[in-house]
Every structure is written in structure tokens, then in C-alpha cells.
Amino acid sequence: MGEEHLIKRPLIFAYYVTGHGFGHATRVVEVARHLILAGHDVHVVTGAPDYVFTTEIESPRLFLRKVLLDCGAVQADALTVDRLASLEKYSETAVVPRDTILATEVEWLKSIKADLVVSDVVPVACRAAADAGIRSVCVTNFSWDFIYAEYVMAAGHHHRSIVWQIAEDYSHCEFLIRLPGYCPMPAFRDAIDVPLVVRRLHKTRDEVRRELGIPDHVKIVILNFGGQPSGWTLKEEYLPHGWLCLVCGASESLELPANFMKLAKDAYTPDMIAASDCMLGKIGYGTVSEALAYKIPFVFVRRDYFNEEPFLRNMLEFYQGGVEMIRRDLLTGHWRPYLERAISLKPCYEGGINGGEVAARILQDTATGKNYTSDKHSGARRLRDAIVLGYQLQRVPGRDLSIPEWYANAENELGLRTGSATATMNNDSFTMASCPEDFEILHGDVMGLSDTVNFLKSLSELDAVLDSGKSTEKRQIRERKAAANLFNWEEDIFVARAPGRLDVMGGIADYSGSLVLQMPTREACHVAVQKIHPTKQRLWKHALARQNAKGQGPTPVLQIVSYGSELSNRGPTFDMDLSDFMDGEQPMSYEKARSYFARDPSQRWAAYIAGTILVLMKELGICFEDSISMLVSSAVPEGKGVSSSAAVEVATMSAIAAAHGLNIKPRELALLCQKVENHVVGAPCGVMDQMTSACGEANKLLAMVCQPAEVLGLVDIPSHVRFWGIDSGIRHSVGGADYGSVRIGAFMGRKIIKSVASDLLSESCANGVTSDDLEEDGVELLEKEASLDYLCNLSPHRYEALYVKRLPETLLGETFLEKYEDHNDPVTVIDKKRNYGLRAATRHPIYENFRVKAFKALLTSATSDDQLTALGELMYQCHYSYSACGLGSDGTDRLIQLVQEMQHGKSFRSAEGTLYGAKITGGGSGGTVCVVGRNCLRSSEQILQIQQRYKNATGHLPIIFEGSSPGAGKFGHLRIRRRLQPEQN
């Protein structure tokens, strides 16, 4: 560690290790080993087995204390993290006993007279160190506030305090020793980058092979999973001929074929990796760092819901060391094409691998008093940045987040770029001339839409992607290469386009039959489809290997490439044999389809796209005898409440219908797409999203009564009125528990209202008289209400007069089912143990239907400030009704408050203010707010002021949605064919 640092006495390090996986323990070993070599004492606090440390460090200066202070990420299986269980386990492990933990750790740190606390990457260790008056340093490539961030989105906001507490704990840390392949970690005010921390090799490649009795010419793949999937059977045919597979961590009961070899429990994994030709496993810091260090190609399978993975994967692929395997092919044994591809790679990592030594030197210097840190930001500033990034970061910088300037290096390490998140364009920028010259348009019109022209241009450039990977966007090479092999350029390609939608009024009342007013967004999804005979389709290698294994010759295959996979750590490609959709002679059930797509969460997105084919098979009896190749490119951002899923579904089904000569009217197509989302994806959405995407027109509001989908017509937006959408940065999901529970509450309420009406009707008939409540046409009204088909057909005054007092505020699912048996909603299931908010969920659609009718009438009334004020007031009422249902969020409430401050500020009173109202949109619980204002320059300036003020308050720069574009029905489709290029001499 260098003689220049002369230490008078041995230093004492307390080194805390997270409970997540062996990778952390093994890299701690390497740092601790160098500290001990320098003559210091290291007390390791860990839940890992002793042998992990003692086999590498044989020294009386190593002290092991078996304590587990966090749980990491709880695995549902070998490849899937259970997000809710992870949060609950962390709460049980680290939150509930927090006071006891802190008291115990402070006392212990003082008892050993620790000079420095090191954490990889236990949050509470940093706080305990601060309480004990000891400096602390973290050594890691990720932090738990970032990892748990999206878990909170899925599990519910009541776990949010966990992320706040973790970030606050980390903010007590002196600085961060940051390892390559790192995630954003804004809770740390200073970071020092070190090389890869890699375990040293004990034996050469030749020595390992000689000891195992493996000739040098035999190709070896090491299966390094840290626990194989349960019930897994490994078969001889999984490997190419002449290959051997070394299996790490195999159970004693696992029987292996002759070309598989079980490694001993105490086998030293780095030596085994370095002696192999490639590795197969799941991504983690340990596997990636050792694959890069020893230049071993890594065939990896994605883990679900572990947010560290995209950053490690980017690093692995940046250095040309990675091949992604589809989980289905892993489990069914189609390994050959991936392994053969892997050994053709030439990994090119040339960076340092002595991170353990470098980190140890920094820790020693810090313990002796050296100051590596700069002037720190305020605790509030650091914590704010930590929470903002933790909750709202999307993984493609510049798409919807402006990262604090002091943290910009985190995004630039691997050539990623930052930029403005604003998605606004002026009206003139959305028109361009014509199609790229490479294509001839045989049918349809680009309608001057620049995004369509750009999509066609991207199609025309696909061939160039195969030329040595010149693209500077390393992240996109995989997607583009896959897309370049999709199409046969001698055949026709069909292109469809469908926009997202801005929910102006109506929102979650659609499933109760309300009138809704929806505007198609400027942002849209494009889908290119080619129907082609199986003998002419260009199959990906793994799909071809699967077909060859069946020995049936070419059969119809669906191949999909979806751009933007980095946004949510999903696979960029999906393929399946179309015969997989058949169950005997009939298409499979929707239940089986949901299970089919749920097998691999990294490819679950394909349900929105491939599900359209199954729906066409089941609902229209379409038989697909040809192969289908599809490219999906969506500019509608996910999780913003602007219906990205409907845009994908509608564009996909429109393109498939065009390619197969199906004449499906826009309304019918929208209803079919709703079936995709309800029955194949399993999300309980209404139909307004799909209807707007299919039937909407630019700069008009689609007016529709959702009973189930009666389009009343298009409402012109007056020239003096304008609508904007502002993204809160809080991820919205129509599949979330809150949306579903509110929907269930509304259907419960309808059932109870029908029952009450029946009881009142029976009473009146039995008594033979008419009560005060039943004067005039009361009996007829009760008869209608006793058979109420849609909740929105009940008027607000009838609700208040007869039913509101008979509805409980909340009701336990089990209690409801005992009395009423069923809530009669085909797309949701009541949880017997859940308490549902019933009165607010029932009241909202009844009043919302009235508000939307008033809103529609106001749009056609005389132009005045009173008109705009009334429109805005109706939107505010809608927003607060969402909140009463439990579908609000901190971010959307803040945006509403900012609009109100603009509206009621001094500038408004002086006739300069031009914004009049706003509301949360779509399914709620985050997402986007819709704002109404006067169509003038001052309004646009105020929207930009709100955008900046929101960023100043939260750190998140919102996307602004403005402008509109035609729906899929208006756009129709394009039929294009590539022009033949003249041969060159």
C-alpha cells in the first residue's frame, strides 16, 4: 500500500456488508485483504458464511461478527425480485428494530475503538457511525435508495418512508468510493472512482484444466447462477457438440448429463471463470467484473426488478463482452446459438482491476485524517436530490429528468447523455415534406407528420447499422441490429401510427359509463409490420435454432423489436412460434395467454403487442398462416398517464389489420384493443384510451359515452382555449393496486345502490302506497335504478336524496361478498381481506359525468373570462374528487398548487394571468396533470415558469405535452416498399 504512509499503530476498520448476495462479500474480501496486509484490523459485520472470508484471508487481524442489518432484495426465484416482499423484509429487518440497532451498533463501534466505518452498502451503518462520532465511507456501485425506488412505485406509497430513511442514512457518509458500472447515487455528496474490485487468481487456466482433466481444445461454459431455477433439468443437447459445462453451486441431488460437470462447493470461482471460454448466468457486480477482468464473454439472462442491472449491462456491452439470452431459451435449453455467438466476441476491457488495493489505500488515508471531501451541500439539498432521483429517475437521461449538475458525471461515464426533458415543439416543427427517397409509398399519406417521416427514415437506415456498428449510441446498437434483420426489403411493409391521449375530462369515470372528453397527443407510436412466408423470413439465430430443434421445417414465427427498452430494463426483442397461441384446434384462453407472457417479466411488454394477434384470432376468427415481423417505436412516454399502452395496442392492431387486408372500423378496433389490455395484459382499464387513440382527430376533443363506447362526435376546441399536459415525474400505472381498488369500490357501490333501489321498490309495492320519496314518477325511477347498468346513469340529486347515506365509507371485501356475492365487474377480483373505499369511489363517477357534460356545454358557449373560469373550476373539482378516492399524489398536487398560484397571483389580478384550472389525469396516483388556459403567448410562458418552479422544488424537470395529432383511424396506414438500388459496376 506504499511506504509513504507510515502508520504508528494498527488502524481499526468496522466493515459492514449488505445481506444481498455473495458479490458484496467477495469484493469486501478483496478490500479487507489489502487493509490487513497493511497491518490493520478489520472487523467484518456480515450475514455471509465464514468461509467466504477465511478461505482468502488467514489472519488474526480479521474479525467476523455475524449480524444482518439489511436484507437486500428478496428473490421470488433465481431470476425475479419480489418487490413488495423486499420492502416488507427491509422494514422488518431494519426499520422496526431501528432504535435497538442504532444503540447496539454505537456501543459496539465504541467498544472496538473503530477509526473508520466502511459500508457496502448498509444504510444504518452510516447513521450509527455518525452517532458514535466516527467517520464513515461507502464502497459500492449502487445504493439501496435507488434500488428500492421503483419497488415503492409498485408496492404503494406507504413504503415511501423507507427510501427517505435510507437516503438520510447515506447522507451521513463522508464520501463514496464508487465502483465501475455504478447507478446514480445522489445521497452521497462526494464520489471517488476506483478501478474494478476483482478477486485475484490462484491458478492459471492450464492448471485448472489439468486438475479437472479437461483437454485444452474442449470449449467450456461455466454456469454461474448463485442458485439455479427450481425444478431445472439440464440436458446433454443444451450444449454445442464437444462442449463442457461447469456448474457452480449445484445441489447434491442434481443429476447431470455427461457433458456437465458439478464443481465442488469450495471451488474458487474466479479460477474457474478464467479457465472457461464463456460464462452463462445472471448479471451482478461480481460476475460482470470478473468476466471483464479476465476477458471472458458473458451470456446473461436478465433479472427482473433489480435496478442495478441496466448499468452493469451497459458496461458489459460497452466493452463487447455480453450476449443477452432470452429466459425462455435458457429454461428450454436453446443455448447453442448464444454460446456460439459468445465465443466469437473479443472483450476489450483494458481498465484497471486493482480496485481493492486502491480502495484500501483511500480508506487508510481517511482513517488517518486525510480529507477527501469538498464543501458539502446542505443536508436538505442532498436529501432532496436523493429522493427525487430515487423516485423519478428514468434510465434514458434527457428523456424526463434533468440530473443535478453536481452529479452529471454519473451519466457521462459510458457515453450516456443528459439533456432537456421538455418534449415541446412549436406548431410549425411538426410538419415535414415527404417520405425518404429509399421508400416508395404505395398506399397512404404521411400527412406532413414529421415523426412519421423520421420513423420511415429510421427504417431506411437499418441496413447501415450492420456495417461495423458505427452508431455512437452504444445503448441502441442491440435494438438496431435486431431490427435490421427483421424485414425482407423486397416485400411490402405496412406502417400504422396511433397517438397517446390527454385526459381533459372524464378520467376514471369511463368504466362507470361516463361522458369523457379526450385529446390525442402530438406524441405517437409507430408500428411497421411485414407479413411474409415462413421460408422467406429472416429469423434470429436463437429462433432458427428453436425451429431446427423441432425438425418441422419453416413454420410461422412472430418477431418483434421494440425501441426504448432501456427505459424500463426490458428485453428489446420478443419472438414466438404463432402455433404457441393454439390450444389444440382453438386459440388459447386469455388466462393461459396471461400466464404465457408472465413467465418472463423482462418480456411481459410483448403482451400489449402480440396480444393483438390472439384477440384477432379469438374475436374475429382470423387465421394467421404467414410469419409476422414487427418494429415498434413509441414516443409516448411510459408511466406518465398519457396512455402509452393504448397507443402501442392501437398502432399494432392497425398495422396487422392493414397487412392482412382486414377492414376493422376504428371504434371496433378500439374495443378489440381494450380486450388486449383487460384480458391478455390483465390491466382493468376502461375504453376511453383506445377510443381516443383510434378515433380522435388533431386539435379536437373526442366526446364519448362509455356505454360501452358511443362516440358522440368531435368537439372543437375554441381558438382562445388551450390545453397542456405537465408530467409530475411520479410513475403512473393503470395496473396499480390503487386504481383497481377504486374501480372495485365503484362497482360495489353500484351493486349496493341497485339493492337499495330494489328494497325501496319492494316496500312501496308491499304497502300499496307511495311515500314522499316516490311522488310522481318515483316508482319508474326506482325501477331504472334497481337495474342500473352504468353508475353514471344515476343523477347526482338522486344519489344525494336516496343513496349516499346508505353507502358505507369503506367496506371489507369479505363482508360485501357475503351479502352481495359479486360486484359484476369482469376485469377485477375482490380481495376478501381488503377494506375498500366505497363512498368516494361511487360518488366520483356520478358527479364526474355531470361535470363533463357541463364542461362540454361550456366549450360551445360565448367567449368570456367566466367561461374559462368555469372550465377551470370543473377541472379543480375533478382533481379533488380523485384525491378523495385515494388517487392523488404529492407531485400532481404540487403542480395543481403551482397553477393556482399563477391564477390567483398579482399578475392574474392585473389581467395578465391566463391559466384557469388543472386536474390529475387518467388512472391517477401520479402521472400527468391537464391544464386549461387562454391560448396566448403569456400562457405558454406561465407553463414554462411552472415547469421551472417544479424543478426547483423537486429536482425533476417535467415533460410538457402540448399540441395534438390525428388518431389511427384518420391516419389510416402506409404501404411502402424499398426502392431497388441500381447495381454499381
The three-class DSSP label of residue 226 is coil
916 and 726 Cβ atoms separated by less than 8 Å: no
Tell me 555's DSSP state: -
Alpha-carbon 546 to chain mean position:
29
Catalytic center residues: 689
Pairwise CA distance, residues 749 & 745, whole Å? 6
Extract the C-alpha cell encoding 118: 466502511
Burial of 568 (0-12, 13-18, 19+ CB in 10 A): middle
CA distance 111 to 697: 72
Q: How far apart are CA 173 and CA 372, in angstroms?
A: 12
The three cell numbers locating residue 382:
442532498
In this structure, the chain runs to a length of 985
Which are the contacts of 661, defined by CB distance < 8 A and separation ≥ 6?
none
Rounded Cα gap, residues 636 and 646, in angstroms: 10
Nine-digit cell at 432?
Answer: 415535414
On whether the CB atoms of residues 697 and 967 are closer than 8 A, the answer is yes
C-alpha–C-alpha distance, residues 752 and 746, integer Å = 10
Alpha-carbon span 852 to 870, nearest angstrom? 12
Side-chain-side CA neighbours of residue 189 (13 Å): 20
Torsion of CA 540, 545, 546, 548, to 10 degrees: 120
Closest by Cα among 446, 401, 975 to 728: 401
Number of CB atoms found within 10 A of residue 10's CB: 14
Q: How far apart are CA 1 and CA 34, in angstroms?
A: 8
Q: How far apart are CA 829 and CA 834, in angstroms?
A: 11
Tally Cβ neighbours within 10 Å of residue 522: 25
Compute how many other C-beta atoms are within 10 angstroms of the C-beta atom of residue 801. 11
The residue whose grid cell reads 400466464 is 595
Peptide bond into 615 cis (omega under 30): no
Contact 972, 440 (CB under 8 A): no
